[in-house]
């Protein structure tokens, strides 16, 4: 009998997630983040997760614009197009999603219910071999303004299984250039 040794998001995620209502002020959100020593809050409504707010959001959307933090609700500045992952997904898939979308936190949602959060730190602690993927993403972000690069990321091609420095998304799969050309020719 063969054992399944794949590491899932559930294995690495933090199950307790600090959440806030979209009507919470930015000041109160910052106090929560400081108290719990976290860098983000998931914003929840009656129907489930609505978005996420990070320290970076507060800096870029409030502090840098010299807005009054106790007059702004986090619902006004949260990231609404929530990128999330299922707890049964493989950890390397989560790392790819983080790298591709230049994010460090992924809410973990199971059938519409928030069950945890996965951070880049969680990924690195459970699966250090994925460090290269996340570090390469940071390098790509720093060089983004100087390159003509599209949204390629390093990783294992989902068609041929080879590790390459640049994967592209084709028909919902991460594929190497050679496999992309083969698939595109079909």
| Spatial distance between the Cα atoms of 167 and 90, rounded to a whole number of angstroms | 17
Which is nearest to 138 in space by CA: 104, 93, 164, 169? Answer: 104
176 is in an annotated binding site: yes
160 is in an annotated binding site: yes
CA distances from 80 to 76, 138, 145 (A): 9, 23, 25
157 is in an annotated binding site: yes
Q: Please name the residues in contact with 21: beta carbons below 8 A apart, sequence gap of 6 or more.
A: 43, 44, 45
Binding-site residue numbers are 157, 160, 176, 179
Annotated binding-site positions for Fe cation: 157, 160, 176, 179
Which parts are annotated binding residues for Zn(2+)?
A: 157, 160, 176, 179
């Amino acid at each position: 009998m063969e054992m399944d040794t794949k590491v899932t998001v559930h294995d690495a995620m933090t199950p307790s997630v600090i959440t806030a209502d979209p009507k919470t002020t930015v000041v109160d959100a910052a106090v929560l983040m400081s108290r719990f020593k976290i860098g983000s809050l998931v914003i929840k409504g009656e129907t489930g997760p609505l978005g996420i707010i990070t320290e970076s959001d507060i800096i870029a959307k409030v502090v840098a614009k010299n807005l009054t933090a106790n007059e702004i609700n986090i619902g006004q500045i949260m990231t609404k197009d929530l990128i999330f992952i299922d707890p049964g997904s493989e950890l390397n898939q989560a790392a790819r999603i983080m790298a591709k979308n230049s994010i460090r936190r992924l809410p973990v949602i199971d059938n519409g219910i928030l069950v945890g959060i996965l951070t880049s730190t969680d990924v690195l602690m459970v699966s250090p071999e994925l460090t290269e993927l996340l570090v390469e993403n940071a390098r790509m972000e720093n060089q983004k303004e100087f390159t003509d690069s599209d949204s390629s990321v390093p990783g294992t091609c989902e068609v041929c299984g080879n590790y390459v420095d640049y994967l592209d998304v084709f028909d919902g799969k991460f594929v190497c250039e050679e496999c992309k050309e083969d698939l595109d020719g079909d």
